[in-house]
Structures are given as C-alpha cells and as structure tokens.
A and B are shown apart, each in its own frame.
Chain A
C-alpha cells in the first residue's frame, strides 16, 4: 500500500483507528476503480462511488486514486475541489439541502433558509459542531412549481416550511425503536 498522509479531515481515523481506516479507504478506492475499469475518463464516476461509501473523499483516497488511475495528485485534487458533491469532510448524521435559486426565492426560500438555520443552530454550508446536522444550499432541484424545495437525507420535499424541515430532521435524528435503538 502507498504511504498515506492522514489529516484531521479523515474522521474515520478517530472512530476505528488508523490502520483499519486506511484499509477501508484502500478497499473502497480499489472497488470503485475496478467498477469503472474500461470506462473513458472514469475519475468523476469513481469519486461518486467513494463518496457514496465513505460520505466524503478523505485525503488518503486522493493519493490512492492518483496512483490507481495514473493521474497526478494535483489532477485528482483539482477535480475533488471543483465539485460541490465531493465533500472533503464528513457530513452530519442528517443532511439538509435547501434550494436557494430564483423560483424558490419567489416563494420565500431565503426566509426559510434563515429560519431553519436559526432553529437547527447550524450555519448555511456547515455542519453543526456536534456532528448532527449539515445544512447545504443547493441551486435547484427541478421542483420549481412546488417550492420552496429541499431534501432531508436525500429525499425531496416540496412546499417546505421551517416547521416541516425541523420535524423531518428531528425524526431523522431520533433512533427508531423498531430498528433496535441504534444511537446513530
């Protein structure tokens, strides 16, 4: 395995320890690269897979990807830093994305964003300190006749109100007793 640089962004380290974490990153990267072998220009597709598995693109993955795909680290880093979906830090346990584009603005998106931010105590485009909630701005979900729109953990909702968003987030963060009370 290539020598890996580990930074504070690699949150998995603190949970499972360095070696198991690096093993996991290595496994995820190898699987993703193999899944897209033979495709033209696969880097973005591979990075999507990495985010789907790990929740973000850890620094450790950048060097591995460069080696596996015969790219420079600068090229991989350049792609990771360009696209908003390719998070470099882990998101919160619940991810809220609110649309701030014009159609949703015309039905009060800016007020909604401000109120949700205040009530969930999380600034836009950040993750709350306790790691519970990430609040992202998104420019358009294509739900422009039913705004304000947003997603909670990837599920799209229209005609959103702050009450609804807060309730959905609370629901998502409350352990489901049917599933054995997993505290995550």
Chain B
C-alpha cells in the first residue's frame, strides 16, 4: 500500500473544534506520522453537518473527504485505508473528492475561494492560490484607478448597509492630505465585530484565510492614501484574533505590510483591536469610539467617518467580507465580478445557513438566489424534520419571514421591498414550534440589553417594548397594546440615532404580524 502524498487535513476552525476536531486530530496524529504523512490544520469548508471533516490529498492531486469523523472512528478509518493512495472509498464516512461534494458543487466561491483549502497562515499556500495578485496589480495602477475599479465592480458593503464601497473610498481619497502623511494619517478600519446571530463568515475568513483581509486592507490603504489600519474583532472570537495576529506577523516578515509594501512606496501598518462584549460596537461610529478606547457610543452622522472618522481623521470603515473580496476584484477585474449577481446587487454574497437547519454552513453564490433555494435546496430544511415556522434573514435586526414568503430573491432592493434586508447574509431557520411573539419580545429585550444608551427611542423604547409585548403575551388589552406597540415601533424607526433602535422594529413588526395571522387562523398554528 502506497501512502498518499498528503497532507491529511483536519480543520482548526473554531466551529469544527467546538465538536471535537482537536481530539480527532490527536487521534489521527500517530497514524499519520507512521504513514509518513503530514497532518495539516486548515480552515473549514463550511459544510458543518460534515464536521469534523478529514481530507486526504492523494497522488492524483484531488482531496478526498471523510466526515463527520469522531476520534472513535479513526482506527477503523485507518484500517479501511484512509491513509492509502487512493484513499479508501468503501467506508460509510468516505465522501469522495471534496470538490465534488453536493454541498460545495455549484457554489461560486470568490471571497471564500481559499477558505478550507489552504493552511491559513502559510504564506506559501497563499501565494500558490492567487494571493497578492490583486495587490501587485493595484500597486501598478494609480490610486484613483483602483478606486474606479472597485466602484465599477459594484461591490457594496457586506456589513449590512450595502453602501457602494468605491464611493466611500473616493470620499476618503479626496480628503486632505493629498499625499499620504503619517503625521496627518488616514485610517482603514475593518469591522469584524460580527455580532449578528446566524453569521459566522467573518470568523471563518479570519480563521481560514487571514491574508486576504490584510491584502485587501493594503489595497484600500494604497487607494485612499491611508497609513494605518485596524481590524476590530469581537472578543467572542479568540481564535480569529490569534490567527489574524499570527498572519500580521508573517505579513510583516514577508514585506507585505510595513514600510515599502512589496517594494513600493506604500507604507502601511496594521494591528488588531479586540472588542469587549458589546453588540453595538458593530455599528460603525460606535466601533470607532471603541477603537479610540472609549465607550462604544454611537455618533451622529454627519460628519461622515470618511471625513471625520477615527480620532477625527478621514477613515475608511469596511466590513471584513467587503475588504477581503477586494483582492479578488483587483486580480480578476471589475467586469468579471460585476458579471455575477442581479440588478444593483453585484458579485457574490457569502450566505450563512444557521439555526434549526439540516445542512448548515456557508453557501457563497451570486446575488439573486431565493431564500427558498438557500434554505431548502442547499440547507435541506429544518434539522428537527418539522416544517419551517419562520426564517429570520439578515441578523437580529432582520425580518422574520413566514414559510409561505420565502420565494424572495436575495438582493438588497428586492428584500427591502419585501420588508426585510440582506444584512450580513445570515439566515436563521426556525421550525413550526417557534413562538413568534416570544421572538418579537426577544428582539426588544436584545435591543434594550445592547443599546448604547445615547438616544432615547432605542434605550427607553426597547424597554417599553418588552413591557408591551409582555402585556400582549398575558392577553391584556390586545387592541390597545398592539396600537401602542405599533406607535413605539414608528418612534424607534424614525427617531433612533442608528440601525440598532431604527431596525429593531423590523423583526418585531414582522414577527407580530405573523403571530396575528396565526392567532386569526390564517395560518395553521403549530
């Protein structure tokens, strides 16, 4: 028996680790060493129902997948020929070549092209898989042309607001000083405070391909004339912080960051800052306050962060997914990226299937796919096997859609027209045991817990909202309380300083509307 060329891959992604990938790697280490095959830790492919997923690279160049593998499965798998070439195919956990897995085939991976494929902090792997092509091309262009390229790609902010990235960059490029000057710095701040429930794409990208973020930041810095960059990562992601910090060290050692990036005149320094358990710090102005070491309070806009951002200086604030997509846009050209997608939603979105779902994980594909397709075709329906009760799209500030209204396309405008939002691309599935009035209450409770407290509609409105919904749950004065809740939602929507208070009514109203339908018998109650 010839051993495969290897390596044998076991994900070090924190989700994979949360269900035993480390123990499995330990169980596999001795056998791998004996067969003379290197054990490598990659990111996750994002097919979480198959995690922990083992992959073995064979002499034919393909990677063969096995999963989900527990430590107890390892001896039998090895006996069956896991570490032979070609790897065993007649074991119940053998899934065949990874690229042909039904959960991967048909995805359009651009932002996530390297995640799960490479060893995250291997500079060699990064270069071998197209790393730095985008940065090299950017450095050969004028900053204004780089901005124009990103604008032409149609890339919009992946954090949720969907603002065109190129337009934001142009504002910062045109702000003084015209020539980069560390004494009058411009900043690049990357928002990796991924607090929305049902989202984990930033985390997987930081853990699985951290260099793409750093490359994207360097391109951004060159385009707008910035000299310093920060990645703001939430404290709930310790693995992301560690991987990113390690990647930054390596990037400096290779001249990808620091003075004279890739031998050019670009000087750019990057560091990681860690949040401290406040959801609101995902709001861009709150994040800037937190980066300054202060309370994460929201600031009124204007002034725009692009003109008066971090420490009052011109600042690009981009979501991590947006900035990590920039290298691919520069490498492949704006046209190729814009060829994907629909209407004004160009390119791909990294959709995240979460909650009560049979096949949860990442589906990166062009905008325009319907929620039904994502949840049913890709996700396989609920994990519990019961009918879908509701689907929350776009995080805790996104709408609850009923099972009968999932045919809406994932596209910024179409979803907005349907009363929802794409948000950060998270989709949380509930089965029909969901209590929608309880979910509406939770939306208000979450807002009151996480409000920064600066504006009254958010701080007080959410507290009153919990009380009103409690009254509804108790069956008190239904019509009057529904009217009061609607009034409260209007005040929060129109009067809040930021999206926290302004969008909390979205899940509340949609859940309550659905609950009323159920109560009226328009929908079969569970």
Q: What residues make up the interface of A, taking CB atoms closer than 8 Å to B?
A: 39-45, 47-48, 75, 78-79, 82-86, 99, 101-107, 138-147, 149, 154, 156-159
Contacts and interface: CB of A to CB of B under 8 A. Distances in A.
Contact of A142 (B17, B199, B275): B199
30 contacts: A41-B293, A43-B293, A48-B274, A75-B294, A79-B293, A82-B296, A82-B452, A102-B197, A102-B198, A103-B355, A105-B439, A106-B355, A106-B430, A106-B431, A107-B384, A139-B197, A141-B14, A141-B236, A142-B199, A142-B237, A143-B14, A144-B352, A145-B48, A145-B200, A146-B15, A146-B18, A147-B354, A149-B18, A156-B17, A157-B18
Contacts of B200: 142-145
Contacts of A101: 197-198, 396, 446
Interface string B265-277: 0000001011111
Given A107-B356, A154-B238, A140 B291 contact: no
Interface string B18-38: 110000000000000000000
Which A-B residue pairs are the 9 nearest by beta carbons?
A: A145-B360, A101-B197, A84-B277, A144-B354, A41-B293, A83-B276, A43-B293, A106-B355, A158-B18
B450 interface: yes
A37 to B, nearest CB: 13
Interface residues of B, number: 62
A79 B281 CA distance: 13
Contacts of A85: 235, 275-277
B467 interface: no
A50 to B, nearest CB: 12
A26 to B, nearest CB: 21
A107 to B, nearest CB: 5
B442 interface: yes
B196 interface: yes
B19 A103 contact: no
Contacts of B434: 106
Nearest to B398: A102
Given A79-B295, A83-B275, 19 more contacts: A40-B293, A41-B291, A41-B311, A44-B290, A45-B293, A79-B293, A83-B276, A83-B278, A85-B276, A99-B197, A102-B396, A107-B356, A139-B449, A140-B197, A142-B236, A145-B48, A145-B357, A146-B15, A154-B238
B18 A143 contact: yes
Interface in B408-448: 426, 428-431, 434, 439, 442, 446
Nearest to B201: A142
B361 interface: yes
Contacts, number: 153
Contacts of B294: 41, 43-44, 75, 78-79
A136 B429 CA distance: 25
Contacts of A156: 14, 17-18
A139 B290 CA distance: 18
Contacts of A41: 291-294, 311
Interface in B445-462: 446, 449-450, 452
B15 A78 contact: no
B197 A145 contact: no
B345 to A, nearest CB: 23
Given A107-B383, A145-B15, A44 B293 contact: yes
A142 B14 contact: yes
A76 to B, nearest CB: 10
Nearest to B445: A100
Contacts of A159: 19
A57 to B, nearest CB: 11
A158 to B, nearest CB: 4
B195 interface: yes
Interface of B: 14-15, 17-19, 48-49, 51, 194-200, 202-203, 235-238, 271, 273-279, 290-297, 311, 352-357, 360-361, 383-384, 392, 396, 426, 428-431, 434, 439, 442, 446, 449-450, 452
Nearest to A158: B18
A85 B237 CA distance: 13
B195 A139 contact: yes
Contacts of B426: 103, 144
B76 to A, nearest CB: 22
Contacts of A42: 293
Contacts of B202: 142
Nearest to B18: A158
Contacts of B431: 106
A103 B357 CA distance: 10
Nearest to B290: A44
A104 B442 CA distance: 13
Contacts of A107: 355-356, 383-384
A98 to B, nearest CB: 12
A29 to B, nearest CB: 15
B276 A44 contact: yes
Contacts of B428: 102-103, 106, 144
A146 B357 CA distance: 9
Contacts of A144: 197-200, 352, 354-355, 360, 426, 428
Contacts of B14: 141-143, 156
Contacts of A103: 197-198, 354-355, 426, 428
Greatest chain A CB density within 10 A among B199, B276, B297, B384 is at: B276
Contacts of A102: 197-198, 355, 392, 396, 428, 439, 442
Nearest to A101: B197
Given A82-B296, A156-B17, A142 B48 contact: no
Greatest chain A CB density within 10 A among B294, B396, B431 is at: B294
A85 B275 CA distance: 9
Contact of B277 (A83, A142, A147): A83
Greatest chain B CB density within 10 A among A75, A102, A149, A154 is at: A102
A146 B359 CA distance: 10
A142 B279 CA distance: 13
A82 B278 contact: yes
A82 B290 CA distance: 10
Nearest to B400: A102
B361 A145 contact: yes
Nearest to B196: A140
Contacts of A82: 278, 295-297, 452
Nearest to A47: B276
